[in-house]
């Protein structure tokens, strides 16, 4: 089973290292594809935009999810189980449909605009809702919301309640206690959630295609173009692996930074 | 805390509301997906069920989903049993590796599988889609089943052997019934994952479309949008029902555990 | 005026009264113990004093200031938790310093104070240790240091020695007592272990069913229990039914059934009584001799416990054996149980 995964990725790597620009593996080994992938300014801009959008999505999603997870862990009482189910269900519905829902909501003639128009709150439809990075961030944040909750909830749930009482006993009010005790102890869950969201969203294809427009295009769109339309498989492969490497490095840097920050809190 | 409670409900609304527009407008008597609403109609549903291409794609999805669910659950069962029974070393690393597809962006996974199938001469077809879906579903199956196996009291199998049953009968009479809820949950969850999956199917399916691929193809035709909404609404309802069923199955086993443990 | 005073304090959970109209006064500088079986309400009472629960009725005051409604983090109390509750993400130094951070001491002043406290609890040099590298005894001391370094007016201890092995527990009992004496801080200890309460505390309150049964020094609790529940809970005891026959000056005669006619000093009675009253007499095992007495019996079981042996003696007219503790070897054959009149404890029959 492990081999079954190594093979496709190895093949991708192989393609990325060939000199030719067609669908067939031939010619000698070369780093030309990577030079092209990282060399062109347009490509680099797209890399940065993808990382930026993902980082924003991650930040927004995690920050919105934390209070929700906190509520379920500390204030939900008997209804805890029901809340967890209610929060998990959207995770299992079709991702494609969820993105599509935002497309019809944000469109020029879509749900939001028509609602605002018929309520006479605006006189012209808002064009800036769709086909831009804003739409991509909003859609992705919504799609990945459920993913953020579970890791954060688990780490909050694991906190020994007597620790919270000890902190109170030693003089901490609720806010101080949260910042000095609860937050640091839940950091592993927060970091886990962040990685869980950041890594896959940089390479997302469906959302930028449906709601991104040219301004909201991400690296996956470029990779798809190279494979489908241009037929330059080696370049596409190089782009794919380069983006994965970048994402990996960014994620590792983030984890290191977060851990250091958490350690500084006393 | 009152404000936190309000936040929680608002968050839940944020999660559910956008998706609820799909069923809402699927009954709307208008080609335009906009307010104000124009009256109730079942026209779009009627169109949907008259569409042969859709029905064909539905059949494909059901086929792929069923095969994926069965294979993923079977392989997951074997893996889970091996892991919990034999305490293999390096299990954590192996599980992490198997879960890798969940972390790789799906386009990278799809493309590398595409390359692989091309190189080994495997035709682009529904079988290819099954292979792709297996890489995603096996980690899920293993996770669900390992949780089930861990909660399983080893002594029960020993008692059965002590009372005279051979290994196969012990499995059939003792282990299998206790693991059954986990198997059911695994089948349901892997089926839904496969059924809803779009990108891998898009790259690997060749000429036979699965349902999500079919939907993708319809999105460029504005007049077909209401029909797509109808389809989406039905898929949503089915998914939710299956998830609830799967959760019920998974947790029904937990109560039963107290009898065995 | 008492340092800690509870006045008619009650706490109910639904219909169940965990704490039922408790009056309590703890003097300043005392080592006070709250003793009782599981479920008697002592932990609930402790948590109300600490501020983690609010009484439904009654007033709690510390050093003259009323505590009702004051949140836990603002009270002049600090608690040593049963599970120790050591912060896992901080080392020993930071754990102990936790409550001092907001007092805005200078860096040097803070360090000096924490190090001094670590030395007091004999953990000097271990400041950099991580929480998960500590033994049970060490964790207990960290919890203690962390609470004491804030110089609270009242230190609350919730079954602090329960998780330690016997030898360590005994050592810690001695240490805690010495520590309290040298610091002069009022300690309030909650425990179900009577040996712990009796050996450490100046005063003990025995609690059961949400009520306080008796407050007294350990010796007085042992020798002059006020009721059957207290006598039974503290130490081993044999109960005998009796009827008061007559009072002659300083001495009381009673008909004690299987023990025959007995006399005991009038001073042993802590409650009003009259001839004809049904009372309960209690005798501690170590106050009964196996020879030279008036009640015939037969040893049916014996266990050698080192410095003394415990015997079960069957006597006529009583199904339950009498428990006797006596040093030295047991006499062969039948025994004659005897006791001093002063050893008879008298209790009201409820």
Do A and C touch, counting CB pairs below 8 Å (3 needed)? yes
Cα–Cα distance list, C319 to C298, C303, C322, C325, C329 (Å): 13, 20, 9, 19, 25
Confidence of residue C200 (pLDDT cuts 50, 70, 90): very high
Min Cα–Cα distance to chain B from A100, Å: 9
Decide if domain A34-263 falls under CATH 1.10.3720.10.
Answer: yes
Torsion of CA C77, C80, C82, C86, to 10 degrees: 120
Phi, psi of B79 (to 5 degrees): -65, -45
Instruction: Give the model's pLDDT for residue A234.
Output: 79
Per CB-CB distance under 8 Å, the chain B contacts of A199 are 103, 105
Instruction: Give the model's pLDDT for residue B102.
Output: 74
A140, pLDDT greater than 90:
yes
C162 touches C107 (CB < 8 A): no
**Are residue C128 and residue C191 in the same domain, yes or no?**
yes
Domain locations along chain A: 34-263
B259, pLDDT greater than 70:
no
* CA dist., res. B19 & res. A172, Å (int): 42
Query: What's the mean per-residue pLDDT of chain C?
Result: 90
**Are residue C281 and residue C151 in the same domain, yes or no?**
no
Instruction: Give the model's pLDDT for residue C101.
Output: 86
**Are residue C128 and residue C178 in the same domain, yes or no?**
yes
Residue C13 belongs to a domain with what CATH number?
3.40.50.300
DSSP C235-286: S--EEEEEEEEEEETTEEEEE-GGG-EEEEEGGG--S---TT-EEEEEE-GG
* B132 Cβ under 8 Å from any chain A Cβ: no
* CA dist., res. A203 & res. B249, Å (int): 34
Instruction: Give the model's pLDDT for residue B89.
Output: 66
Domain locations along chain B: 42-260
B174 touches B162 (CB < 8 A): no
How do residues C243-275 score in pLDDT, each as one tens digit?
999 998 889 999 988 888 999 999 888 888 889
| Window 143-202 of A, Cβ < 8 Å to C | 160, 162-163, 165-173, 176, 180-181, 184-185
**Are residue C197 and residue C243 in the same domain, yes or no?**
no
Per CB-CB distance under 8 Å, the chain A contacts of C99 are 170-171
A74, pLDDT greater than 50:
yes
Confidence of residue A239 (pLDDT cuts 50, 70, 90): confident
Per CB-CB distance under 8 Å, the chain A contacts of B105 are 199-200, 202-205, 220, 243-244, 247
Per CB-CB distance under 8 Å, the chain C contacts of A161 are none
**Residue whose tokens read 């190594």:** A6
| Window 88-147 of A, Cβ < 8 Å to B | 88-90, 92-98, 100-102, 104-105, 107, 109-111, 113-115, 117-118, 142, 145-146
**Are residue C220 and residue C302 in the same domain, yes or no?**
no
Per CB-CB distance under 8 Å, the chain A contacts of B199 are 205-206
> Is A8 within 8 Å of B113 when comparing Cβ atoms?
yes
**Are residue C112 and residue C70 in the same domain, yes or no?**
yes
SS3 content of chain B, % helix, strand, coil (to 5): 80, 0, 20
| Window 24-83 of B, Cβ < 8 Å to A | 25, 32-36, 75, 79
* CA dist., res. C154 & res. C189, Å (int): 11
Instruction: Give the model's pLDDT for residue A38.
Output: 74
- CATH code of the region B42-260: 1.10.3720.10
| Percentage above 70 pLDDT, chain A | 92
Per CB-CB distance under 8 Å, the chain A contacts of B228 are 100
**Are residue C308 and residue C221 in the same domain, yes or no?**
no
Per CB-CB distance under 8 Å, the chain A contacts of B12 are 86-87
Which residue, of C180, C208, C232, is where some domain finishes?
C232
For an interface test with A, the pick among C87, C90, C99, C151 (most A C-beta atoms closer than 10 Å) comes out as: C87
How do residues C11-65 score in pLDDT, each as one tens digit?
999 889 999 999 999 999 999 999 999 888 999 999 999 999 999 999 999 999 9
Min Cα–Cα distance to chain B from A111, Å: 5
Q: Picking from A221-230, B130-139, C318-327, which range would have the lowest pLDDT averaged per residue?
A: A221-230
Task: Write out the residue range of the structural domain in which residue C150 sits.
Answer: 4-232
Say how many domains are in chain C.
2
* CA dist., res. C87 & res. B232, Å (int): 50
* CA dist., res. C345 & res. C164, Å (int): 34
> Is A224 within 8 Å of B107 when comparing Cβ atoms?
yes
| Window 179-218 of B, Cβ < 8 Å to A | 189, 192-193, 195-196, 198-199, 212, 215-216
Confidence of residue C102 (pLDDT cuts 50, 70, 90): confident
Instruction: Give the model's pLDDT for residue A21.
Output: 63
Q: What angle do CA B149, B152, B155 make, to 5 degrees?
A: 130
A171, pLDDT greater than 70:
yes
Which residue, of C167, C197, C232, is where some domain finishes?
C232
Q: How many residues does chain C have?
A: 350
Q: Where are the alpha helices (DSSP H) in chain C?
A: 42-50, 92-97, 107-120, 136-148, 166-183, 194-200, 218-223, 228-233
**Are residue C183 and residue C279 in the same domain, yes or no?**
no
Locate the chain A residue with the closest alpha carbon to C97. A266
* B119 Cβ under 8 Å from any chain A Cβ: yes
């Amino acid at each position: 089973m492990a081999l079954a995964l190594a093979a496709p990725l190895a093949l991708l790597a192989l393609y990325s290292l060939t000199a030719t620009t067609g669908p067939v593996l031939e010619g000698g080994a070369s780093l030309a594809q990577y030079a092209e992938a990282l060399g062109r300014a347009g490509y680099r801009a797209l890399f940065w935009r993808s990382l930026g959008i993902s980082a924003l999505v991650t930040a927004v999603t995690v920050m919105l999810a934390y209070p929700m997870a906190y509520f379920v862990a500390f204030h939900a009482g008997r209804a805890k189980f029901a809340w967890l189910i209610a929060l998990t269900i959207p995770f299992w519905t079709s991702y494609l449909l969820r993105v599509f829902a935002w497309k019809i909501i944000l469109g020029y003639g879509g749900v939001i605009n028509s609602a605002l128009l018929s309520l006479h709150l605006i006189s012209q439809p808002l064009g800036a809702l769709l086909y831009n990075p804003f739409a991509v961030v909003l859609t992705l944040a919504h799609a990945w919301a459920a993913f953020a909750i579970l890791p954060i909830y688990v780490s909050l749930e694991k906190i020994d309640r007597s620790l919270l009482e000890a902190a109170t006993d030693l003089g901490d009010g609720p806010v101080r206690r949260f910042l000095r005790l609860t937050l640091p102890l839940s950091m592993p869950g927060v970091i886990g959630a962040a990685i869980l969201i950041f890594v896959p969203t940089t390479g997302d294809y469906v959302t930028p295609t449906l709601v991104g427009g040219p301004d909201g295009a991400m690296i996956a769109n470029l990779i798809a173009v190279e494979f489908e339309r241009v037929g330059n498989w080696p370049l596409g492969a190089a782009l794919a692996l380069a983006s994965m490497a970048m994402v990996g490095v960014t994620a590792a840097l983030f984890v290191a930074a977060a851990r250091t920050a958490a350690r500084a809190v006393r | 805390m009152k404000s936190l409670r309000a936040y929680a409900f608002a968050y839940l609304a944020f999660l559910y509301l956008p998706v609820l527009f799909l069923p809402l407008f699927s009954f709307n008597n208008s080609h335009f997906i906009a307010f104000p609403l124009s009256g109730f109609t079942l026209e779009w549903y009627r169109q949907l069920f008259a569409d042969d291409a859709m029905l064909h794609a539905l059949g494909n999805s059901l086929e792929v989903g069923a095969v994926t669910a069965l294979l993923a659950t079977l392989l997951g069962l074997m893996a889970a049993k091996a892991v919990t029974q034999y305490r293999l070393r390096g299990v954590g690393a192996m599980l992490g590796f198997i879960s890798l597809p969940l972390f790789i962006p799906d386009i990278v996974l799809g493309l590398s599988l595409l390359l692989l199938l091309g190189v080994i001469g495997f035709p682009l077809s529904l079988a290819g889609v099954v292979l792709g879906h297996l890489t995603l579903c096996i980690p899920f199956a293993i996770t669900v089943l390992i949780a089930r196996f861990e909660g399983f009291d080893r002594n029960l199998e020993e008692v059965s052997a002590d009372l005279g049953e051979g290994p196969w009968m012990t499995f059939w009479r003792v282990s299998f019934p206790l693991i059954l809820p986990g198997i059911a949950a695994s089948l349901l969850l892997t089926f839904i994952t496969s059924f809803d999956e779009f990108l891998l199917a898009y790259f690997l399916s060749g000429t036979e479309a699965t349902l999500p691929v079919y939907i993708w193809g319809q999105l460029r035709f504005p007049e077909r949008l209401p029909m797509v909404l109808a389809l989406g609404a039905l898929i949503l309802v089915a998914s939710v029902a299956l998830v609830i069923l799967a959760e019920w199955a998974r947790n029904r086993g937990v109560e039963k555990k107290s009898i065995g443990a | 005026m008492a340092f800690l005073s509870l006045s008619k304090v009650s706490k109910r959970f639904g219909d169940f009264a965990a704490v039922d109209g408790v009056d309590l006064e703890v003097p300043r500088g005392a080592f006070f113990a709250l003793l009782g079986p599981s479920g008697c309400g002592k932990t609930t009472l402790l948590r109300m004093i600490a501020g983690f629960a609010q009484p439904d009725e009654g007033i709690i005051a510390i050093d003259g200031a009323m505590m009702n409604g004051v949140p836990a983090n603002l009270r002049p109390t600090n608690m040593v938790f049963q599970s120790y509750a050591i912060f896992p993400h901080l080392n020993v130094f930071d754990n102990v310093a936790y409550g001092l951070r907001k007092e805005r001491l200078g860096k040097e002043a803070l360090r000096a104070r924490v190090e001094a406290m670590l030395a007091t609890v004999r953990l000097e040099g271990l400041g950099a240790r991580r929480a998960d590298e500590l033994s049970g005894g060490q964790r207990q001391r960290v919890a203690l240091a962390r609470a004491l370094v804030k110089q609270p007016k009242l230190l609350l201890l919730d079954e602090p020695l329960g998780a330690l092995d016997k030898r360590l527990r005994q050592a810690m009992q001695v240490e805690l007592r010495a520590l309290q004496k040298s610091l002069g801080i009022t300690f309030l200890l909650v425990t179900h272990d009577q040996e712990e309460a009796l050996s450490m505390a100046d005063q003990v309150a025995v609690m059961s069913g949400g009520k306080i049964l008796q407050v007294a020094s350990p010796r007085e609790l042992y020798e002059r229990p006020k009721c059957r529940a207290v006598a039974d809970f503290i130490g081993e005891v044999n109960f005998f039914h009796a009827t008061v026959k007559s009072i002659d000056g300083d001495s009381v005669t009673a008909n004690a059934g299987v023990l025959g006619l007995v006399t005991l000093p009038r001073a042993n009675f802590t409650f009003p009584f009259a001839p004809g009253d049904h009372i309960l007499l209690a005798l501690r095992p170590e106050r009964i001799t196996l020879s030279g007495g008036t009640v015939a019996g037969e040893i049916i079981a014996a266990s050698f416990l080192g410095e003394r042996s415990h015997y079960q003696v069957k006597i006529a007219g009583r199904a339950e054996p009498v428990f006797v503790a006596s040093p030295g070897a047991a006499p062969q054959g039948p025994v004659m149980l005897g006791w001093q009149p002063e050893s008879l404890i008298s209790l009201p029959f409820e």
